[in-house]
């Protein structure tokens, strides 16, 4: 059986924006197609591994409980995603890593690099679009993560033409590896699989 590792800051019941529902949709679609699906996500209180509708969900918390900034949280969580990601990959030999939004990019890249597994990054909006006129030092740092790491992804999915243009024009990412799709359309997952897994 083929398996997929998904890394996302959000997964139900933790829903801040739309990401959680998209991740859930991807997980269900992959499951339907016979994949073993593991989701790595963040939750400060509900920590541990459980099987939820045949999807294995591992929730990690920051090893440092003091919240200082979103950037600090990302760094600490990266170490936990790597820890659990390695366990999952060594146990099930993942064929594909999919990470959603910037907070999961570094861990996805590291796991992909270590185990030579293709990595698909999903990005709905870039930091450049989100912060617009309030593009401060924190935004520059987040944009740096997006820009630096997305270049290393095997493939990038986005549902926005504007983001597509930003990735090309602002982040200098090769347009050939960016795909604009409706992330909630039924064709999206089979299309992704046809592109990545031969």
Partner 1 sequence: MEILMLVWEYPPRKVGGLATHAYNLSLQLSQIGAEVDVVTTSFPGEPEIEKKNEKLIVHRVETYSYPAYDFINWVMGMNNSMLEYIANLATRKNFDVIHAHDWMVIPSAVGLKYLIGKPIVYSIHSTEYGRRNGIHGTMQRLIHETEGWGTYESKKIVVCSKYMKEHVAWLFGVPSDKIHVIPNGITESPPVKVDIDFRRKYALDSEKIILFVGRMVDEKGLNVLIGALPYVLKFGISAKIVAVGDGYAINRMKETAWKLGVYDKVYFTGYLSDEELNKVFKISDVLVVPSLYEPFGIVALEGMINKLPVVVSDTGGLSEIVEDGINGLKVSPNNSEELAKRLITLFSDENLRNRISELGYKTAKEKYNWREIAYETLEVYKKTTV
Q: What's the min distance (Å) between Cβ of 173 and partner 1?
A: 15
| Choice between 27 and 99, CB closer to partner 1 | 99
Q: What's the min distance (Å) between Cβ of 88 and partner 1?
A: 12
| Choice between 151 and 180, CB closer to partner 1 | 151
R_g of the chain, CA atoms, integer Å: 16
Strand order in 3-8's β-sheet?
48-52, 55-60, 36-42, 3-8, 96-100, 119-122, 155-158, 178-180
- Check if the beta carbon of residue 112 is closer than 8 Å to that of residue 100: no
Q: What's the min distance (Å) between Cβ of 81 and partner 1?
A: 9
Q: What's the min distance (Å) between Cβ of 68 and partner 1?
A: 5
- Check if the beta carbon of residue 8 is closer than 8 Å to that of residue 101: yes
- Check if the beta carbon of residue 38 is closer than 8 Å to that of residue 96: no
Residues lying near partner 1 in the complex (CB under 8 A) are found at 63-66, 68-69, 71-72, 74-76, 78-79, 82-83, 86, 106-107, 109-111, 113-114, 136-138, 140-141, 144-145, 148-149
């Amino acid at each position: 059986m083929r398996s997929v590792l998904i890394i996302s800051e959000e997964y139900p019941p933790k829903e801040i924006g739309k990401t959680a529902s998209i991740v859930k949709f991807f997980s269900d679609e992959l499951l339907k197609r016979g994949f073993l699906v593991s989701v790595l996500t963040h939750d400060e209180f509900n920590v541990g591994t459980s099987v939820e509708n045949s999807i294995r969900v591992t929730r990690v918390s920051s090893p440092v409980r003091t919240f200082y900034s979103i950037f600090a949280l990302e760094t600490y969580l990266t170490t936990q995603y790597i820890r659990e990601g390695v366990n999952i990959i060594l146990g099930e030999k993942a064929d594909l890593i999919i990470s959603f939004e910037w907070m999961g990019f570094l861990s996805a890249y590291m796991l992909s690099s270590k185990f030579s597994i293709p990595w698909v990054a999903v990005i709905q909006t870039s930091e450049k679009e989100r912060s617009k006129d309030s593009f401060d030092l924190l935004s520059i740092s987040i944009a740096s993560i997006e820009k630096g790491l997305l270049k290393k992804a095997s493939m990038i999915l986005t549902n926005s033409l504007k983001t597509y243009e930003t990735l090309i024009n602002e982040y200098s990412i090769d347009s050939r590896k960016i795909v604009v799709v409706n992330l909630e359309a039924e064709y999206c997952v089979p299309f992704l699989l046809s592109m990545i897994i031969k």
